[in-house]
Amino acid sequence: MKKSLFIGILILLAACAQNNSADIEKRVNDTLAQMTLDEKIAVIHAQSKFSSPGIPRLGIPELWCDDGPHGVRPETLWDEWASARQTNDSCTAYPSLTCLAATWNRDLSRLYGRSVGEEARYRKKNVLLGPGVNIARTPLCGRNFEYMGEDPYLAGQMAVPYVQGLQSNGVAACVKHYAVNNQEEGRLKLNANVDDRALYEIYLPAFKAAIQEGGAWSIMSSYNRYQDKFASHNPRLLKEILKGEWAWDGAVISDWGAVHDTDGAAEGGLDLEFGTHTNGVDKNTANAYDAYYMAQAYKEKILSGELPMEDLDDKVRRVLRLHFRTAANEHQGSMNSPEHWADCRKIGTEGIVLLRNEGILPMKAGARKIVVLGENAIRPMVVGGSSSSLKAQHEISPLEGIRAAFPEAEVVYERAYYSGEPTPGKGYNYSLYDITEERSSEQLLEDALDALDGADYVVFIGGLNKNKKQDCEGNDRESYELPYGQNEVIENLAAVRPDLIYVNISGSPVAMPFVEKVGAIIQAWYLGSETGNALADVLTGKVNPSGKLPVTFPVALEDGPVKTERQYPGIIDEEGDWQVYYDEGIYVGYRWYDTQGIPVLFPFGHGLSYTSFEYGQAQAPGTMKDRITVSVTVKNTGEVAGAEIVQLYIQDVEASVDRPAKELKGFEKVWLEPGETKPVHFTIGRDALSYFDAEKHEWVAEKGTFKALIGASSADIRSEVSFELK
């Protein structure tokens, strides 16, 4: 055995025995010292669609990535997006990250990460491309369903345990998409014009939390430009902030095809290049991956002295850390286990949000006839959406879940509306059921109305789907309204049955002009493999709903802060560049609606229960130096056990700068039996009171009066207490 190979094997064995940072640094330095220039160049770019090479001479294995974050994507061909058509690559499809954020449950986020990490490890993946923590700036963004809502604090708090749970399996989180990637329209070329205060207060905190508190091992640079430089080439984002201010030692991975030139990538802070369009199939067939920007061209610039070896060595060190933290891990993982299905179901039930209930829910046992309407009652949702499309081992539809929950009832189904032929992104597979429909929209409505006679319950399951220009990567929605004529259908049904239960399946807010005309509304997101079972659990009261909205549902799109063309989708400037202006600054989501006093359909943090909760008077010391504890009691005043999400907002009463009416700075999910009372305590520091001073480039907490607002949502403040910052 060659000495170098023997050393490499010893390094990997040591990695299995010990994975602390000091040990990793020693192994990184030992390995780097033995590497040739060709080996250094090889490990910083792909060798296939989803893998990068190891160092065979030193016993370092390949690094394999997989699209996430909702499950482990099916295998693709070596050089292509096309399916490898394997029969053993199905997975458990977990609920969308908007659903996870709606649980407001940190423990459940850790469970989610650990569970999906076990599946990734079983499939021998080293890096899962997720979680996504971009802020929902506009409801129209086609990829909002992959993210964690509109608030940076909530997104960060939910991302941290996901990252920790995932990486406990030796699978790296690749937090995405860094940064200011808040729309799909024009994402490959737009330039995001955002001021530093908004950047640091709104768009960076969730990334920072995932990095510094979660300990994420990798991060994905986004497609868009910022300060006229692509994110994969952006020294401000990658070197100054990420690796400088945050002192991060992980690896920056490009989004697939997000690299544009050698100098920019080499000098801008990128570490690992994937997806550049030289795939060996339709061009560069002789040396496809050598044609990557950080491959042969980079090597030549190193040899000529145009680019320094120190930058290359830094990239290699970061990639080696990723190898040692993941590829050498001894976890085996598991796939499609009953435990994973139970995790999926639990996350789904806790993320479902009861938006409205006029005494209709929960559905009672003994129903003789239940009418289920709407295409989304039968439509598979784990497929589609492009990069997050999955091949699940099973997917329980809402119709199947309701039928299983009411085995003695006659459950009648009518489609009621038709979405048309699918417009697929990567990974669509509609062989699971027949998508075609021969009836006209008029006939579909007539048949739905005819089915209502004698029904004990009528459940309409509609919303969006994962077609292009719905909840799907690559395009944004064209309208805030429900598609496929659903408003008219619901209005007609509700005129006959005002007790109609509307279940909205979507990853983003939608308009609901019928809100006062139906008996109940449920926001069900995308719930994954156990969709039908999770939904039925909440409909029947087997699980008391406890989810709350991570996004505001405005009445109309024009009520929101993004109003002009230059804000969205952007304008083409005199040089022909696509410019998007974040003129709203820090006023995103509830920060806008609450500060402006604009009525909304459903506020941020809103969610009902089958029980009721009473809040006591908030208590806090009168003055604060560095930290303060705010306390409140919560009592379950209803007849069933349930959970309340207690939210802490901070208001700066005496601010010298423009500040929102309130900002979320704490939350706790409290489980209470009927009649039970529990105290809730929030300890906050000066950071919770601070704003970012762009001129000084520092966080500032001004002395003066602040209010701690305790609420059931951003618009439902139950108690408040004032204190002074000295």
Q: Cite the active site residues.
A: 255
- Which of 28, 87, 93 minimizes the C-alpha distance to 67? 93
Give the other-Cβ count within 10 Å of 365's Cβ.
11
CB atoms within 10 A of CB 312: 20
Cβ–Cβ < 8 Å for 322, 251? yes
Structure tokens, 375 = 């295409």
DSSP 470: S
User: For residue 169, what are its two tokens?
Assistant: 């399996």
Q: Which residue has the tokens 């199939």?
A: 281
Buried b (16+ CB within 10 A) or exposed e, 657-669: eebbbbbbbbbbb
Dist CA 267 CA 264 (whole Å): 5
CA atoms within 13 A on the CB side of 693: 13
Contact 249, 318 (CB under 8 A): yes
Taking the CA of residue 509 as centre, how many other CA atoms within 13 Å lie in the half-sphere pointing to its CB? Answer: 27
To which residue do tokens 């997989």 refer? Answer: 66
Cα–Cα distances in Å, from 440 out to 443, 467, 492? 5, 20, 16
CA distances from 722 to 76, 450, 632, 690, 707 (A): 57, 58, 14, 16, 4
Count CB-CB contacts under 10 A for residue 700. Answer: 13
Q: End-to-end alpha-carbon separation of the chain, Å?
A: 68
Tokens of 171: 């699978």
Can you say whether residue 272 is alpha, beta or left, with left for phi > 0 and alpha for psi between -120 and 50 degrees? beta
* Residue 271 CB neighbours (<10 A): 26
- In whole angstroms, give the CA distance from residue 174 to residue 325: 13
Q: Give the integer Cα–Cα distance in Å for 313 and 297.
A: 16
